[in-house]
Amino acid sequence: MLFTVLAFLVALGVLVTFHELGHYWVARRCGVRVERFSIGFGKVLYRRFDKNGTEWAVSALPLGGYVAMQNDPPAHATQAQIDESFNHKPLRQRAAIVLAGPMANLILAVVIYAFVGLLGAQEPVAQIGPVPEGTPAAQAGFQAGDRLVSVDGKPVDSWLQARWAFMDALSSGGELEVGVKDLLGREENRYLTLPAGEILPDGQDLMAKAGLMLRPARSVVQEVFKDTAAEQAGLKKDDLILRLDDLIEPGITAFVQKVQQSAGKTLELEVLREGEIQRLLLTPQGDAKAQGRIGAQVAMDMPMTLVRYGPIESVERGFTRTGQTFWFSLKMIGRMITGDVSVRNVSGPVTIADYAGQTARIGFIAYLNFLALISISIGLLNLLPVPMLDGGHLLYYAIEAVRGKPASERMMLVGQRLGLALLAVLMSIAFFNDITRLFS
């Protein structure tokens, strides 16, 4: 629990601070006086002032941060004080300052994705398992063992990349061209027709529903102990288990359970050894009242590939991944508004904190990818034309550009009330979804 909270607070602190740094940096470039830059809220624990008079503070509640600018000049202000006030800046500068926060989040996502590309990560090979009959994949001719090499003309190197490439088509439907390499090494294109699927946080995996599932990890012998059933059967290190009686390519759990349930029984065993299939007879030791054992250590065999790119390609992929994620998220919001996608996909702080903890436990790369995704979400959310958000201010500035003068106080008051109501509804939905997931 504590680890999850810490992972969430670190994520929130980094993302919100970077957002506010965007506002701060452009404000300073435009000559606006920044009175305070605070990391956190509440009681100030540490502060210092820079040469421009900005107070840099660390506050008690680590739930984000804020930038306080001089919006209007003080009474009896000099011309210099008037010139460094936000509300006295030209429209284009005010819009740039507001836009800088969301853009900073999108830039951060690009940097993170580029950094992950440079670091590289071991990911499962995009090889599919058994294809259920009647599924779109079966109708398109996919077979167990096919390796996905491209989706819609774009190469994929791993299962995670393949899932990402499929995401839009799985939700909206349509025909998708998929390049595959079969077990014999032959490459061909197959055309997968997908129905529109409803994305639900606790619903069926749409890729699995289409008939495409990652090939399960198989069992491989790591060590054979002396004077055991495994040695007597002829098992050797690095043997890949192809079949154990009625189990085809069993995973570790299925293999162990079968052995434990078969004390004293002779089982047919097929293994792949140095490219050739060997057929053995294996009799687990033990009697009917005890669990069977064979005296061998078995591990998981999951084909992995190192996904890593050079500096230029990493940056290109950073921009591409950020743009694709932003556009897909925007379409999802639009489909929620039209009712094509359930609002159950809206997540609140509890769910986000849970994901922060889960990804941090998986590893550094997974946590970085999580940070990039949430950074894009923060950037997109703040760009929505909702009063109270950055996008709402940009909407007012667009009205000002058209009218030639700022929006009226009445218009802004109505907008603020409407924006507050929309945010309250959104937060209520998010908290309701969090509580539902927590107790379901």
Do 371 and 11 form a contact (C-beta atoms < 8 A)?
yes
CB distance 162 to 148 below 8 Å: yes
Phi-psi region of 31 (alpha: psi -120 to 50; beta: other; left: phi over 0): left
Q: Which of 63, 55, 53 is nearest to 17 (CA)?
A: 63
User: HSE of 292 in the Cβ direction (CA atoms, 13 Å)?
Assistant: 21
3-state secondary structure 324-363: HHHHHHHHHHHHHHHCCCCHHHCCCHHHHHHHHHHHHHHC
The CA–CA distances, whole Å, from 47 to 24, 39, 119, 391 equal: 17, 10, 36, 31
Q: What is the largest CA-CA distance in the chain?
A: 97
- Residue type present at position 290: A
Q: What is the C-alpha to C-alpha distance for residues 94 and 12, in angstroms, rounded to an integer? A: 26
Q: Could you tell me the CA-to-CA distances from 63 to 23, 161, 249 in Å, in that order?
A: 18, 33, 49
What's the length of the chain?
Answer: 440
- Reduce the DSSP state of residue 307 to 3 states and report it: strand
The token pair that represents 262 in the structure block: 């078969």
Active site residue 177: no
Active-site residue identified among 20, 249, 268, 316: 20
Q: Within a 13 Å sphere around the CA of 4, how many CA atoms are in the beta-carbon half?
A: 10
Q: Which residues are catalytic?
A: 20
